[in-house]
Amino acid sequence: MKRKIIPFLMAMIFWVGMVTPAYAWSWPTPESYSLVSLGDSTAVGTRPEAEPIDSGPGEMYYEDGYFDLLESYHFNDDAISLAVDGKDSQDILRDLWIDFTTRSNVRNAKEAVILNVGGNDLLGRVMDAAYDYALTNFNMAPLKKKDLNDYNAKLEYFQDLVDTIEDSEVELIDALNTIIEDANLVEGALLFSLRYPSIVRTMRRLNRDVDFYVLTIFNPIPQTYDPDLEEIRMQLDNLLEIMNGVIERNANRYDNVHLIDVHQEFLEKPGSVGFVPPENLDPHPTEYGQLLIYELLEPNFI
């Protein structure tokens, strides 16, 4: 019986293949863009809701992030952003390995790919530690299940925690030091350092004909700010020295991978970031900061 069924099934498969239109069997062919942008909320263009004090020359502000400016002024909308708030190096590497949209857009890019990742390898851990701290020490209401992995919801929760701390007898700087310690940022920096070379290799394996622009990670705590935060800022600087060193070495390793040093640019330009605690804990670049990133990238596309 089995001997009769198998030839019949093979004949049916052959027949279906002959009469079914070809398009039903083909993978979708994605559009190809001159510019592809990968990354996190900085690449999205997420900015503080309220501009911080002394946030830079207001007349230079733009409504758009650096990708939007490049898309409008240099690529005539021939560009696509795949950036998503909250993505870290693990997310980007996973996308490059198994996400069809990411892989096909990088493979089909015609001119350039911009990569901006790393901040959430540290910040994500800080927000997770802050969430646990809030539940344990202040009995704050937990987030809804659907918001537990929502980057913006957790950032808002972090701000609520700081407001709660300010109304309590706990010193904010002591609470922040505890959160930073619990976050195990050293592990985050080391995991980033292991993943990043694989990210660059995978991008180049997908497309060797374009230029890749890799952005360094900035410190959200300005050098000129509250001396009470100096210890935390120095801790972050030490970790970022390791992480940015990995980015720089990978840029130097390949002729078509180019370093865009956002970290150094922000150190030299006050008002680049929205972090002004306790009023504003938003770690994103201001509109001025987004403009500075655009100006670092722009000469490569003129």
Per-residue pLDDT reduced to its tens digit, 164-223:
998 898 888 899 899 999 999 999 999 999 999 999 999 999 999 999 999 999 999 877
Q: Is residue 19 part of a domain?
A: no
Which pTM value belongs to this model?
0.83
CA triplet 129, 132, 135: central angle to 5 degrees?
Answer: 150
- Looking at residue 140, what DSSP letter applies? P
Residue 188: enclosing H or E segment and its boundaries? helix 185-206
Q: What is the CATH number for 69? A: 3.40.50.1110
Among candidates 281, 287, 286, which has minimal Cα distance to 155?
281
Q: Domain of 260?
A: 33-301
Q: Is residue 26 part of a domain?
A: no
State the total domains in the chain.
1
To the nearest whole number, what is the mean pLDDT of the chain?
85
Q: Is residue 11 part of a domain?
A: no
Confidence bin at 280 (pLDDT 50/70/90):
confident
Residue 26 confidence (pLDDT): 45
The predicted model gives 256-284 an average pLDDT of 87
157 pLDDT higher than 80: yes
Q: Is residue 27 part of a domain?
A: no
Rounded to an integer, what distance in angstroms lies between the CA atom of residue 156 and that of residue 153? 5
299 pLDDT higher than 80: yes
Residue 5 confidence (pLDDT): 56
Residue 61 confidence (pLDDT): 36
Q: Is residue 83 part of a domain?
A: yes
276 pLDDT higher than 90: no
Q: Is residue 12 part of a domain?
A: no
56 close to 288: Cβ distance less than 8 angstroms: yes
Strand partners, 257: 212
Q: Is residue 20 part of a domain?
A: no
Q: Is residue 259 part of a domain?
A: yes
Rounded to an integer, what distance in angstroms lies between the CA atom of residue 192 and that of residue 241? 12
Residue 59 confidence (pLDDT): 36
